[in-house]
């Protein structure tokens, strides 16, 4: 870690924020072009503490196996699996890169960050059971999901998920799907491993407790003003390329850059909380990530799930997340963050998106005013015999959902990730949330293709990209043979078979 004295006045690349996105991009760029100089700035005193740390996200290797919000039912009754296929492919690409890192000893063994945990969807009631059956029928026709199991048999479901079935009304109609290839990912651990490798590379400096206060264009470069939070001294660093991967803090910094592409973007902050089980006997009985259907008006990040987690080598059991609202864009941000982000160029999209999402507002108000009994009632939908004394409430991460201009609606609230880049590719920012971390690798590949167009075309970079991601330039979604070969290889290397 730098104390500020070794910060360069000029660098090839500046990475703002020490989370999974900056870590992934930094390792990729340093692998593609080892002579690059890189400065990394993080406002907290440790890496991965804002969004990437295990307790700040679901830890689900998002591959659309269990997340029902990725497979909406259309008005004609059919289930649209388009988004599910895209997300499944993106996670396969992430696994390819992580396998490259392990094979080449850039990071320690896979068990430090990824664990095999079955992914399941669980629903009850006639309408939901019919939907899940249609979803299974649609997904299982595609090679990404051909191993997905479906059951309405209570006896089999008791074997799969005993906690979920114990104490449940035997006459209640329920169903579930199961994918054994599911994973739990500790993105905090992975982020630390990536930065540990980066810090050992020549030309790379990491400065913790350093907050970026301003970004201004100067000719073909960017001037970044950084404040050392320890001694209150400021530094100016000039860079050819800047990546703003600062989680909820990315939007205000993007706005300060003044690039035309930032106009019209706004943010809607949503906080979260988990119920965490502290009874070892109960934790032992559950071995799955069980996702249900979201409440009407709730954001996708609030889809309820009862999750087996591996956190720092210890098995854990979490339920949630329970959504909340705060005007902060970061867990340790300012209550004025939301208000400061409102500009003339995004005011109309913000108003329009707000008017179109009144059910979301009502939902968040309901979540904020919940009691422990209310939270326990939600848990009992998934674990009927849950007792209050076995669970404690813990704070999860803070997310800022993207609001952007829309030619027809004026403004829309997006639930996903959005990469905003300048026309010349000299600056890029990542906005939004889930499935973010799981798809960090393909997102950063796309960013590199946008921002380093000339270099990507060279034989050297093409060769490196294909080493990092063997399927690069090909479609896993459209090539069952390549997909099977890729999945078999990464499953073996990552030890998730």
Domain assignment of residue 151, yes or no: yes
Domain assignment of residue 93, yes or no: yes
How many alpha carbons fall within 13 Å on the CB side of residue 233? Answer: 7
Report the CATH number that the domain containing residue 392 is assigned in CATH. Answer: 3.50.50.60
Q: What is the pLDDT of residue 296?
A: 59
Q: What is the pLDDT of residue 299?
A: 57
Buried b (16+ CB within 10 A) or exposed e, 133-152: bebbebbbebbbbeebebbe
Give the confidence band of 462 by pLDDT, cuts at 50, 70, 90: very high
- Judged against a pLDDT cut of 80, whether residue 359 lies above it is answered with no
Mind listing the pLDDT tens digit for each residue in 218-261? 989 999 999 999 999 999 999 999 999 988 889 999 999 999 99
Name the domain count of the chain.
1
The helices-and-strands tally (H runs, E runs) of the chain is 16, 19
Domain assignment of residue 2, yes or no: no
How far apart are alpha carbons 370 and 320 in whole angstroms? 13
* Mean local confidence (pLDDT), 97-115: 95
Give the confidence band of 358 by pLDDT, cuts at 50, 70, 90: confident
Q: At what angle do helices 82-103 and 20-32 cross, to 10 degrees?
A: 60
Domain assignment of residue 285, yes or no: yes
Full-model pTM: 0.92
How far apart are alpha carbons 161 and 382 in whole angstroms? 10
Contact (CB, 8 A) for 180 and 14: no
Domain assignment of residue 1, yes or no: no
Mind listing the pLDDT tens digit for each residue in 165-201? 999 998 999 999 999 999 999 999 999 999 999 999 9
Domain assignment of residue 496, yes or no: no
Contact (CB, 8 A) for 244 and 25: no
Among 96-100, 293-297, 399-403, the range with the most confident prediction by mean pLDDT is 96-100
Q: Which domain holds residue 372?
A: 10-480
- Judged against a pLDDT cut of 90, whether residue 203 lies above it is answered with yes
How far apart are alpha carbons 63 and 89 in whole angstroms? 8
Domain assignment of residue 90, yes or no: yes
Domain assignment of residue 493, yes or no: no
Closest CA to 301 of 412, 441, 182, 401: 401
How far apart are alpha carbons 257 and 270 in whole angstroms? 24
Q: What is the pLDDT of residue 4?
A: 42
């Amino acid at each position: 870690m730098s104390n500020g004295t070794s910060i360069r006045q000029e660098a090839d690349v500046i990475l703002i924020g020490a989370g999974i996105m900056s870590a992934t991009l930094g390792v990729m760029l340093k692998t593609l072009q080892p002579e690059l100089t890189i400065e990394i700035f993080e406002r907290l005193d440790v890496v991965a503490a804002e969004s990437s740390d295990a307790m700040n996200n679901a830890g689900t290797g998002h591959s659309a196996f269990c997340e029902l919000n990725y497979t909406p039912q259309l008005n004609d009754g059919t289930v649209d699996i388009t988004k599910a296929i895209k997300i499944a492919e993106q996670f396969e690409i992430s696994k390819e890169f992580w396998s490259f890192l392990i094979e080449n000893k850039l990071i320690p063994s896979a068990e430090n960050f990824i664990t095999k945990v079955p992914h399941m969807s669980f629903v009850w009631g006639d309408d939901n059971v019919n939907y899940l059956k249609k979803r299974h029928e649609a997904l299982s026709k595609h090679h990404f999901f051909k191993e997905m199991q479906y059951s309405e048999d209570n006896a089999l479901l008791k074997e799969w998920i005993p906690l979920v079935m114990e104490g449940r009304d035997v006459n209640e109609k329920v169903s579930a799907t199961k994918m054994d290839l599911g994973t739990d990912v500790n993105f905090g651990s992975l982020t630390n491993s990536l930065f540990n490798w980066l810090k050992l590379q020549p030309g790379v400096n990491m400065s913790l407790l350093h907050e970026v206060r301003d970004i201004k264009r100067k000719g073909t470069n960017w001037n970044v003003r950084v404040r050392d939070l320890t001694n209150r001294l400021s530094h100016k660093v000039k860079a050819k390329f800047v990546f703003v991967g600062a989680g909820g803090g990315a939007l205000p910094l993007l706005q300060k850059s003044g690039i035309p592409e930032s106009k019209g973007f706004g943010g809607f902050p949503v906080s979260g909380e988990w119920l965490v089980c502290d009874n070892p006997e109960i934790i032992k009985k559950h071995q799955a990530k069980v996702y249900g259907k979201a409440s009407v008006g709730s954001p996708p990040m609030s889809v309820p799930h009862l999750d087996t987690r591996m956190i720092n080598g210890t098995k854990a059991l979490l339920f949630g997340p329970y959504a909340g609202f705060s005007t902060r864009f970061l867990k340790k941000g300012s209550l004025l963050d939301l208000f400061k982000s409102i500009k003339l160029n995004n005011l109309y999209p913000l108003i329009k998106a707000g008017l179109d999402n009144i059910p979301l507002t009502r939902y968040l108000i309901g979540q904020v005013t919940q009691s422990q009994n209310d939270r326990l009632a939600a848990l009992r939908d998934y674990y009927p015999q849950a007792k209050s004394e076995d669970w404690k409430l813990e704070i999860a991460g803070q997310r800022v959902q993207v609001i952007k201009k829309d030619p027809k609606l004026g403004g829309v609230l997006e639930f996903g990730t959005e990469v905003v880049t300048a026309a010349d590719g000299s600056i890029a920012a990542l906005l939004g949330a889930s499935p973010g971390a799981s798809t960090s690798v393909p997102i950063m590949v796309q960013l590199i293709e946008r921002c380093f167009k000339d270099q990507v075309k060279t034989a050297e970079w093409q060769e490196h990209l294909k080493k990092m991601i063997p399927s690069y330039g090909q479609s896993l979604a459209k090539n069952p043979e390549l997909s099977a070969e890729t999945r078999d290889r990464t499953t073996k290397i990552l030890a998730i078979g």
